[in-house]
Structure 1
Amino acid sequence: MNAFMPSRLPGRPTPASRRAFLGGLVGGLPFIIAACGGTEAPAASPTSAPAPSTPAPSIRPPTAAPSAATPVPSAAILEKELVIYSSRKESLMEPTVEAFQKKTGVKVSVKSGGSAELRLLIGQEGGASKADIYYTTDYVDAELLRQKGLLAPFQSSLTDGVPAEFKAPDGAWTGVIGRSRNIMVNTTLVKPADYPASVFDLADPKWKGRIAITRLTDGTPVWLASLILLKGEEATTAFLTTLFKINGMKALNGGSNVADAVAQGEFAAGFVNHYYYVPKKRAGAPVDLIYPDEATGGIGTLVIPLTVAALKSAPHPNVARAFIDFVLSPEGAAPMMTQEGEFPLRPGIPLGDHGADGVRTIDKIRRPAAFDIDKLLAARDRAIELYTPLFT
């Protein structure tokens, strides 16, 4: 069976053996966020934290269960090679690539790098790019490539099943799997009756010295941007100032450190992407996962998609489209769920043994309405500018 060798920038992607790949694994790749300087926000009292006032998001109804396997074009139609530029951690991408190779016989090569780094490379390469597929952990980068006209719209019965907020209007990029932004609590330190129902509950003085959050990585900037769009900049600044300046919230390096600290009882609660909770819960740690702001008037739980797109200049367009359909199928989603407990964005695909107690499928998560991508990008940049002093 063919395997692949992820290559680091610069250089061309090269296929190699599975053994060679395993010898070269590196650590996880967070969202690539360029932190900018800013001025410190003025202090506020606990009562200055915003109370939820936006209309309650609706729960999307589930769709019919997808078929167990997805057909791909015949071998006569498919090209024999596929080149992927991927910002997903190499060890997490490998099982998906191997499954696709086994199903199709196509030789897959992967070039790994940061999401923004690969986006810039694709822009520099233009029509001469060797890439067929751009697989990114930051969908904003996929949108930026779409706006430059570098992605090829693609729609199928499988992409049609992805909720509208997780794909480009023209089908140029499509969400594959998702990460929800949750509150993780230590059940030894927090009784169920005291669980925070909203992120804004953590502005209460009873949480002083008991909260942790990741620095401006792991989806934190996108989450902050969503708060700005949903609650306004003034209310978001007041809320964060209360958390940091009055309640002493600590910013740690990475979601795994936040999950470790909560599981070990160093903090009672922490803001994390759900997949950091999964291994702790499986290992028997005293932790629970909260989906905040689901009550009437709440802002809902943010879900961040990992996305896939075919390049307009793809040398192998047929196999690129086949790969997109494959990763959206239950068969193709299984390797991704196995690795980190992430969930498919197509409703109706069960988690099976891949999740952990308390993790929901996409159709069971009450989410905000879709954001205008340009406004979200501007709000993310503004959040980094404003809140870097608080997070450092």
Structure 2
Amino acid sequence: MRALRILVPAAVASGLLLTGCAGDPASEDSADAPASDGEVTLYAGRDEALIAPLIEQFTDETGIEVEVRYAGTSELTALLLEEGDRSPADVFLSQDAGALGAIADAGLTSPIPAELAETIPAGLTSQDDSWIGVTGRARVIAYDGDVLEADQVPTSVLDLVDPEWAGRVGFPPGNASFQSFVTALRVLEGEQAAEDWAADMAANDPVLTESNGATLDLVNAGELDLALINHYYWYQRAAELGEDAMRAQLAFLPGDPGGIVNVTGAAILTGGAGDPDALALVEYLVSPAGQQYFVEQTFEYPLLPGVEAPSGLPALETLVNPGLDLSDLDSVAETQEMLVRVGLL
């Protein structure tokens, strides 16, 4: 793959220095703001092996201890909706925008300070500052490079329902990123077209898996021809195994509903409103240090302008679908109901 320099739209607010420290949070301007107690509770809908080193790095640099509850994004979203204002969590780190929109719609978030929210370009974060985008991840097709040439791979997920691909496509239907993709399909193509696609896919004998990583591993082992995953799983495996050991290859899908750029993101919950420690954690996630961690360790797109993406990735703006507003991914509950109707969940 050819190394490309990432060019992210410039939309940086001046005057905000993201240090990741708790000593100068914006909330201290309020006389009613709670004082720092040096602790924050995080619900993390991302893999512990990926996130725990970053949390440790944050604690080492700020002295703020983080109590973390790890689980899937969908599971934590359901838990937050059940707990409501009684949740012990101060911050929610989500695998996708849809889950963040769902908890924001339920009134469970506290606004991100404008000077922080504006550091992330519009279109890659919430419109109302209810949450902030942290990293970008492109939806891709992973394919068996020993079986298929690049020009034989479908250029649209809409083609995967063709009989040619029966029993040859895999994906994790319970994964939050997959469900957000289907939500995007509903938004971009319409409700009926999305349900028809899901029903046709269910009838095309797909290989259903538990995770993106497990799906990619099937392709890399020669047990599956095509997989719907996020791009960074390939780069993580390539870093572990070496690119020469990667039988699986990637096809990006610019402009296609199956090639959307979704984001991970963070929200300060109502329980963390005004808490300088909660704000410091969110600040750190989108600080240069936090963004560089994601580039080097998870191979995701940084969203903070000025931080370069991992080499080999297409420029982010070539993949973003201009017809999709990430705020519209909040109807993931309706997507889950549809996936149940067609037999994919």
If the TM-score is normalised by the length of the shorter chain, which range does it land in?
A: 0.7 to 0.9
> How far apart in 2 are the matches of 1:229 and 1:250?
25
Identify which of 306, 320, 323 aligns with 1:366: 320
SS where residue 216 of structure 1 aligns?
coil
Identify which of 211, 227, 231 aligns with 1:254: 211
CA 1:330–1:198 in structure 2 vs 1: closer, same or farther (change >3 Å)? same
Is the 8 Å Cα contact of residues 344 and 362 (structure 1) preserved in structure 2? Answer: no
> How far apart in 1 are the matches of 2:89 and 2:333?
28
CA 1:311–1:257 in structure 2 vs 1: closer, same or farther (change >3 Å)? closer
SS where residue 92 of structure 2 aligns?
strand
- What's 1:329 paired with? 287
Q: How does the TM-score come out when normalised to structure 1?
A: 0.70
RMSD of equivalent CA atoms:
3.3
Give the unaligned 5+ runs of structure 1. Answer: 1-58
> How far apart in 2 are the matches of 1:205 and 1:117?
34
Matching of residues 1-392 of structure 1 within 5 Å: 62-63=9-10, 70-72=18-20, 75=23, 79=36, 80-119=38-77, 121-122=79-80, 129-245=87-203, 247-282=204-239, 283=241, 284=244, 285-294=246-255, 298-299=256-257, 301-314=259-272, 317-352=275-310, 357=312, 359-360=313-314, 362-367=316-321, 368-373=323-328, 376-377=331-332, 379-387=334-342, 389=343, 391=344
Is the 8 Å Cα contact of residues 170 and 207 (structure 2) preserved in structure 1? Answer: yes
Is the 8 Å Cα contact of residues 214 and 258 (structure 1) preserved in structure 2? Answer: yes
Kindly provide the CA deviation profile for residues 343-374 of structure 1, in whole angstroms up to 9, marking residues without a partner as x. Answer: 2233442134xx6x4x3453342324215537
> How far apart in 1 are the matches of 2:220 and 2:95?
26
> How far apart in 2 are the matches of 1:300 and 1:134?
26
CA 1:107–1:302 in structure 2 vs 1: closer, same or farther (change >3 Å)? same
- What's 1:51 paired with? none
Q: How does the TM-score come out when normalised to structure 2?
A: 0.79
> How far apart in 1 are the matches of 2:180 and 2:340?
13
Question: How far apart are 1:184 and its partner, in Å?
Answer: 0.7
Question: How far apart are 1:104 and its partner, in Å?
Answer: 1.6
- What's 2:31 paired with? none
> How far apart in 2 are the matches of 1:149 and 1:208?
43
Moved over 6 A (4+): 64-67
> How far apart in 2 are the matches of 1:382 and 1:350?
39
CA 1:111–1:163 in structure 2 vs 1: closer, same or farther (change >3 Å)? same
Letter aligned with residue 331 of structure 2: L
Give the unaligned 5+ runs of structure 2. Answer: 1-5, 29-34
> How far apart in 2 are the matches of 1:264 and 1:238?
31
> How far apart in 2 are the matches of 1:141 and 1:253?
19
Is the 8 Å Cα contact of residues 212 and 252 (structure 1) preserved in structure 2? Answer: yes
CA 1:261–1:148 in structure 2 vs 1: closer, same or farther (change >3 Å)? closer
Look at both structures and tell me which one has the larger radius of gyration over its CA atoms: 1
Is the 8 Å Cα contact of residues 169 and 207 (structure 2) preserved in structure 1? Answer: yes
Q: Tell me the number of residue pairs that the alignment of Structure 1 and Structure 2 aligns.
A: 323
CA 1:66–1:269 in structure 2 vs 1: closer, same or farther (change >3 Å)? farther
Structure number with the higher helix fraction is 2
Is the 8 Å Cα contact of residues 175 and 307 (structure 1) preserved in structure 2? Answer: yes
Question: How far apart are 1:153 and its partner, in Å?
Answer: 0.5
SS where residue 319 of structure 1 aligns?
helix
Letter aligned with residue 133 of structure 1: V
SS where residue 118 of structure 2 aligns?
helix
Question: How far apart are 1:272 and its partner, in Å?
Answer: 1.3
Letter aligned with residue 270 of structure 2: K
Question: How far apart are 1:101 and its partner, in Å?
Answer: 1.5
> How far apart in 1 are the matches of 2:300 and 2:317?
14
> How far apart in 2 are the matches of 1:250 and 1:125?
34
Is the 8 Å Cα contact of residues 179 and 273 (structure 1) preserved in structure 2? Answer: yes
Is the 8 Å Cα contact of residues 168 and 206 (structure 2) preserved in structure 1? Answer: yes
- What's 2:3 paired with? none
